[in-house]
Amino acid sequence: MDIVGFLKSQFICHLLICYIFIVSGLIINFIQLFTLILWPINKQLFRRINCRLAYCISSQMVMLLEWWSGTDCTLYTDPESYHKYGKENAIVILNHNFEIDFLCGWNFCERFGVLGSSKVLAKKELSYMPIIGWMWYFLEIVFCKRKWEEDRKTVVQKLLNLRDYPENFWFLIHCEGTRFTEQKHQISMQVAEAKGLPKLKYHLLPRTKGFAVTVQCLRNVVSAVYDSTLNFRNNENPTLLGVLNGKKYHADLYVRQVIHDVPEDEQECSAWLHRLYQEKDAFQEEYYRTGTYPAVPIIPPRRPWTLLNWLFWALLLLYPLFKLLINMINSGSSLTLASFAFVIVIASAGVRWMIGVTEINKGSAYGNNDNKQKQK
């Protein structure tokens, strides 16, 4: 292992990266709180400012993937569609198979300049999570409780509010509702059999109601619907911990435009989405067999802004940290040093908890019990 690789694997480096992310994130959340005074005065200015502030947070995660890990991402797509990416509002359908697929989705947004304004359909619990959850609140992210009878009215209202959004945005949606596991897949296919739906080999059954409402509410706002399928070469099993350790992965993302095919009727849209996932299954099968997708491979240029943003916050926040540490050591106080050691332990536990949120084996139970109830 070279010296750079050795340093990337050291826990002290991970702590410093997380320190920068947490402190800068809380500072930005605090600034976002003050932007609320702009909402009744100039809603569009509020939105534009919060897009930039959100970028300062989410781009740090993308920096880890692009610059720290050095992960390569090859885009397979139609060259004619490629030139439109980032220049129009779009709904992006993503598969949900890997621990860092959300990070690859953000990387896709970053390469085309829509990371700060990207939207998602997220579970309500995330809105209470400091930094990213609070950032999403100010971005007008659509949160739901995963109980459609309670969610529908709120989701529709939130989506309709995006109709006059001043920035180009991509609405990223994982239609499966939860990350793929063998247990969830087995239950999902039992539901498919009970409902007479075609079985899928590499995906869970899509949740159609949220997608149908999203398309209905944003139909006159978005110019495109993109179907994307993500895979990693050589049977790689990417994790956020691996990225933090500087491990390089090789991602392949297949993106195709499907806007003209999406029906307006909810039942027809549901049937259309099920057919789309059968096609996604076929693309996944072909990738496992050939290692490629049926499109032109393109590597979008990596932009410097994620790295420059991280360097700015590193220079701003590391100096006072090191100065404090030196003063504590010079003081020679046992109580001070013990307090510092305690803070390190708490920080270590916090870092491990944040990583654990993305781990598949610690993912939500949504798709286990919920699908069982639907089958009854």
Q: Please state, in angstroms and rounded to a whole number, the distance separating the CA atoms of residues 234 and 250.
A: 8
177-187 as b/e: b if 16+ CB within 10 A: bbbbbeebbeb
Q: Please state, in angstroms and rounded to a whole number, the distance separating the CA atoms of residues 376 and 367.
A: 14
What confidence category does residue 359 fall into, taking pLDDT thresholds of 50, 70 and 90?
Answer: low
Look at residue 122 and give its three-state secondary structure: strand
Listed in sequence order, the DSSP H helices in 37-170 are 43-63, 79-82, 101-111, 132-138, 148-161
pLDDT of residue 73 exceeding 70: yes
Give the model's pLDDT for residue 257: 87
What is 345-369 written as a DSSP string? HHHHHHHHHHHHTT-GGGS--TTTH
Phi, psi of 85 (to 5 degrees): -60, 130
**Per-residue pLDDT reduced to its tens digit, 181-236:** 889 999 999 999 998 888 999 999 998 888 999 999 998 899 889 999 999 998 88
Which H or E element spans position 336?
helix 334-356
Instruction: Count Cβ atoms below 10 Å from residue 297 Cβ, excluding itself.
Output: 12
Q: Please state, in angstroms and rounded to a whole number, the distance separating the CA atoms of residues 35 and 33.
A: 5
Q: Please state, in angstroms and rounded to a whole number, the distance separating the CA atoms of residues 80 and 92.
A: 17
57 vs 38, 51, 132, 160, CA distance in Å?
Answer: 21, 10, 7, 26
pLDDT of residue 259 exceeding 90: no
Calculate what percentage of the chain has a pLDDT beyond 90.
54
What confidence category does residue 15 fall into, taking pLDDT thresholds of 50, 70 and 90?
Answer: confident
pLDDT of residue 298 exceeding 80: yes
Q: How large is the average pLDDT for residues 162-175?
A: 93
366 vs 227, 249, 334, 361, CA distance in Å?
Answer: 23, 28, 48, 13
Q: How large is the average pLDDT for residues 21-26?
A: 92
**Per-residue pLDDT reduced to its tens digit, 78-121:** 998 899 999 999 999 998 888 888 899 999 999 999 999 999 98
Q: Please state, in angstroms and rounded to a whole number, the distance separating the CA atoms of residues 48 and 33.
A: 14
Mean pLDDT rounded to a whole number for the chain? 87
Higher pLDDT, 330 or 50: 50
pLDDT of residue 60 exceeding 80: yes
Q: Is the pTM of this model over 0.85?
A: yes
pLDDT of residue 364 exceeding 60: no
Give the model's pLDDT for residue 323: 83
63 vs 103, 274, 302, 319, 327, CA distance in Å?
Answer: 10, 35, 10, 21, 31
**Which amino acid is it at 94?**
L
* Residue 287 near residue 202 (C-beta atoms within 8 A): no
**Per-residue pLDDT reduced to its tens digit, 186-198:** 999 999 999 888 8
Measured at the CA of 216, the angle between CA 215 and CA 217, to 5 degrees, comes to 95
Domains belonging to the chain, first-starting first, are: 3-305 (3.40.1130)
Q: Please state, in angstroms and rounded to a whole number, the distance separating the CA atoms of residues 179 and 187.
A: 13
Task: Take residue 81 and report the two structure tokens written for it.
Answer: 């569609």
Q: How large is the average pLDDT for residues 152-179?
A: 90
Give the model's pLDDT for residue 376: 42
pLDDT of residue 375 exceeding 70: no
Q: Please state, in angstroms and rounded to a whole number, the distance separating the CA atoms of residues 276 and 257.
A: 12
What is 280-332 written as a DSSP string? HHHHHHHHHHHSS-SSEEE-PPPPSHHHHHHHHHHHHHHHHHHHHHHHHHHH-
